[in-house]
């Protein structure tokens, strides 16, 4: 007969996991909101060059892209492997750029139209001839703010 009885057979209660789904759902919603699915399939192969003095493109919604590079292997049979321009999800000619810029402008809110940045994703081994033609078209279309897409280079020194 003791004053202090042992806990007779009382088990520790199982931790309630009923809040687990809530936590997971919270994470789920976060990722669902932040995910941006790739809108366009790449038709051209682009490996952008390296650079050190790069700056980030802040507002993704204000960026329109121009991809330039050799066509993907499955298109090379028809198109050869000379660098091509891809706008949205089709191949384009240099002369289409003016219309593309205009369409991109129309797709934005009125007050944002002045801030559109054109990101040039150009393959490293492209010749400058085509790039210069694109730049001239962009100048004609008054899309002057451009960004040469580049990867962060590993420090040399």
Contact status, residue 142 vs residue 80, Cβ threshold 8 Å:
no
Tell me how far, at minimum, the Cβ of 107 lies from other proteins, in Å. Answer: 18
Nearer to other proteins, 7 or 146 (CB): 146
* Residue 10 three-state SS: coil
What is each CA distance from 56 to 93, 130, 139, in whole angstroms? 28, 25, 22
State whether the Cα torsion 60-65-68-74 is positive or negative.
positive
Which of 24, 94, 103, 107 binds other proteins (CB under 8 A)? It is 24
Residue partners of 47: CB distance under 8 A and separation at least 6 = 69, 123, 124
Which of 18, 78, 106, 111 binds other proteins (CB under 8 A)? It is 18
Residue 112 is encoded by which pair of tokens? Answer: 């944002």
Binders of other proteins among residues 55 to 84 (CB under 8 A) are 55-57, 60, 63
User: Counting contacts by CB under 8 A, is residue 35 touching other proteins?
Assistant: yes
Tell me how far, at minimum, the Cβ of 5 lies from other proteins, in Å. Answer: 34
Binders of other proteins among residues 89 to 148 (CB under 8 A) are 117, 119-120, 122-129, 131-132, 135-136, 138-140, 142-148
CA angle, corner 140, sides to 87 and 53, nearest 5?
70
Q: Which residues bind other proteins (CB under 8 A)?
A: 17-18, 20-21, 24-25, 27-28, 31-32, 34-38, 48-49, 51-57, 60, 63, 117, 119-120, 122-129, 131-132, 135-136, 138-140, 142-152
């Amino acid at each position: 007969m003791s004053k202090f009885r042992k806990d007779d057979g009382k088990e520790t209660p199982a931790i309630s996991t009923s809040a687990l789904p809530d936590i997971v759902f919270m994470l789920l919603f976060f990722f669902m909101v932040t995910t941006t699915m790739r809108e366009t399939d790449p038709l051209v192969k682009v490996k952008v060059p390296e650079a050190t003095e790069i700056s980030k493109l802040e507002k993704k919604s204000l960026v329109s892209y121009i991809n330039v590079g050799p066509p993907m292997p499955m298109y090379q049979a028809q198109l050869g492997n000379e660098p091509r321009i891809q706008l949205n999800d089709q191949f384009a000619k240099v002369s289409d750029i003016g219309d593309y810029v205009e369409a991109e402008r129309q797709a934005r809110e009125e007050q944002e139209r002045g801030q559109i940045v054109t990101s040039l994703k150009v393959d490293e081994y492209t010749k400058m001839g085509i790039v210069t033609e694109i730049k001239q078209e962009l100048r004609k279309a008054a899309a002057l703010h451009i960004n040469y897409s580049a990867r962060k280079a590993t420090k040399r020194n």
